[in-house]
């Protein structure tokens, strides 16, 4: 059985981009970084541009899409988005033809089985993605207002899970952000905190879980260290010190995790 690599090239409010790959076939999830940064980071992680066969979009917030059009043109690959998301991308961001996808309807792409699933983040139609191949499953959910039965169901039993851990509640409360923004982040359609992440992990981690990558970590309301310690404690409580735990970064790609 061939291994699936997950390479988080960028993660955070200034840009998100993840590549899921197997052999010479790869799918990109979001591209919120410039083409120049994308090319440099792919090279650093030994990802060939020719492997990428498509860019899947989670939602239209700029930290997920600002480099997508240029990257798709450069790589010569289609962009996949839900119909509502595609409409915003066309009307507001001048995207061209896209391939429409429907949430919870599986499709085959570049040797992967792909499923988008709805999450409660405050864009027009935000989705997370599951990519599987044979019995290996990867889940990517970087902007989650809150977890619910849908996210529990979809993200359970992933071999590699990329999961939001956006803010530390105390740091958010003490930050100078406007009250309206704090309310949005805290709300059911905002972001997932370290504590939310830690509470969610026991519901989705199974004996098949090998890697957890913490994602979308805030630069001013969180630290990599606090996010990692919180998740580590949750995994330790499950007696799962064997799970590889790491943080996606804003400023650099992180080495590929394999499952
Ligand atoms: Zn985001
Ligand atoms: Zn967002």
- Mean pLDDT, residues 130-137 taken together: 96
Query: Distance from the CA of 134 to the center of ligand 2, in angstroms?
Result: 31
- Mean pLDDT, residues 82-88 taken together: 98
Q: What's the pLDDT score for residue 156?
A: 98
Q: What is the pLDDT of residues 1-32, one digit of tens each?
A: 689 999 999 999 999 999 999 999 999 999 99
What span, in angstroms and rounded, lies between the C-alpha atoms of 206 and 238?
Answer: 10
Contact 123, 150 (CB under 8 A): no
Global pTM reads 0.97
Q: What is the pLDDT of residues 214-236, one digit of tens each?
A: 999 999 999 999 999 999 999 99
Would you place residue 145 in the very low, low, confident or very high pLDDT band (cuts 50, 70, 90)?
confident
The string of DSSP letters for 154-174 reads: HHTT-SEEEEE--B-HHHHHH
Q: Say which CATH number the domain at 174 has.
A: 3.60.15.10
The answer on pLDDT for 39 being more than 70 is: yes
User: How many other CB atoms are there within 10 angstroms of residue 92's CB atom?
Assistant: 10
Parallel/antiparallel/unpaired status of strands 136-141 and 127-133: antiparallel
Query: Distance from the CA of 158 to the center of ligand 2, in angstroms?
Result: 22
Contact 123, 103 (CB under 8 A): no
Q: For the chain, where are the alpha helices, taking DSSP H only?
A: 35-44, 62-65, 68-75, 83-93, 149-155, 169-174, 179-186, 194-204, 224-237
The boundaries of the domain holding residue 33 are: 5-258
- Mean pLDDT, residues 47-56 taken together: 98
Q: How many folded domains does the chain comprise?
A: 1
Query: Distance from the CA of 2 to the center of ligand 2, in angstroms?
Result: 32
Parallel/antiparallel/unpaired status of strands 136-141 and 99-101: unpaired
The answer on pLDDT for 211 being more than 90 is: yes
């Amino acid at each position: 059985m061939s291994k699936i690599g997950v390479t988080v090239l960028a993660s955070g409010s200034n840009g998100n981009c993840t590549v899921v790959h197997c052999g010479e076939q790869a799918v990109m999830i979001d591209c919120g970084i410039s083409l120049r940064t994308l090319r440099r980071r792919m090279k650093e992680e030994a990802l060939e541009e020719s492997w990428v066969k498509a860019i899947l979009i989670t939602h239209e917030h700029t930290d997920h899409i600002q480099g997508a059009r240029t990257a798709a043109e450069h790589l010569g690959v289609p962009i996949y988005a839900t119909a509502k998301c595609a409409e915003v991308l066309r009307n507001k961001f001048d995207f061209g033809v896209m391939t429409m996808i429907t949430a919870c309807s599986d499709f085959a792409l570049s040797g992967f089985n792909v499923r988008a699933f709805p999450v409660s983040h405050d864009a027009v139609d935000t989705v997370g993605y599951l990519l599987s191949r044979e019995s290996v499953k990867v889940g990517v959910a970087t902007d989650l207002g809150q977890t619910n039965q849908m996210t529990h169901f979809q993200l359970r039993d992933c071999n590699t899970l990329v999961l939001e851990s956006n803010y530390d509640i105390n740091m958010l409360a003490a930050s100078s952000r406007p009250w309206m923004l704090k309310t949005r982040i805290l709300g059911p359609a905002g972001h997932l905190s370290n504590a939310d992440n830690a509470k969610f992990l026991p519901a989705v981690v199974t004996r098949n879980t090998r890697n957890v990558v913490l994602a979308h970590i805030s630069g001013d309301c969180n630290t990599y260290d606090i996010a990692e310690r919180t998740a580590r404690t949750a995994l330790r409580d499950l007696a799962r010190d064997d799970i590889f735990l790491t943080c996606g970064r804003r400023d650099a790609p992180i080495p590929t995790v394999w499952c």
